[in-house]
Amino acid sequence: MSFREQNAWALLVTTLLAGVAYGVILLPQLRGADVAEVRYQPAMLTTLGVAVVVQILVSIVVAITAGRDGGPDERDRAIERFSGQVGHAFVVIAALGALALAMLEAQWFWIANALYLGFMLSGVVEAMARIAAYRRGFDQW
């Protein structure tokens, strides 16, 4: 497994763990509560922050050890571009969802969580697209 594929696995695992941790912290607060009263911000910021920091640290470790297999080469860049586009689509969908919620004057809780879900799905789908491209093959033609 190449270092870049390991990096994609790290992105997938940290994004999933961050999402699960956020859900575990938030769900007990939601039972029978008015969402306007739910303090989702600390859990959201903490899980996002920890996921970003962990991904940066993993990227640094990968960059340091990448000398062993060189690169990135044209295939790495093509896969990164492709997976980035796939992940980006989910950020756009989440932004459109948040826009619709804002127009419907939904609670800020739902707008923030729609965006958060979009970020999470974007990270997961981007990592899965990258792993699939490395494992199953990638035809840019």
Partner 1 sequence: MKPTRVTNRIRALRFEHGEMTQAELGRRIGMTRQSVIAIEQGRYSPSLETAFRIAQVFGVPLDDVFQFTEGEQR
Task: Point out which residues bind partner 1 (CB under 8 A).
Answer: 2, 69-71, 73-76, 132-134, 136-141
Q: Which whole-number Å values give the CA distances from 105 to 5, 46, 110, 136, in the listed order? A: 42, 27, 10, 44
* Min dist. Cβ of residue 118 to partner 1 (A): 24
Residue among 88 and 135 whose Cβ is closer to partner 1: 135
* Min dist. Cβ of residue 14 to partner 1 (A): 23
Residue among 31 and 136 whose Cβ is closer to partner 1: 136
* Min dist. Cβ of residue 11 to partner 1 (A): 18
What b/e readout covers 80-117, taking b as 16+ CB neighbours within 10 angstroms?
bebbeebbeebbeebeebbeebeeeeeeebebebbbbb
Residue among 77 and 88 whose Cβ is closer to partner 1: 77
Residue among 82 and 110 whose Cβ is closer to partner 1: 82
Residue type, 105: E
**Tokens 């939904």 label which residue?**
106
* Min dist. Cβ of residue 80 to partner 1 (A): 13
Distance CA 92, CA 106 (A): 19
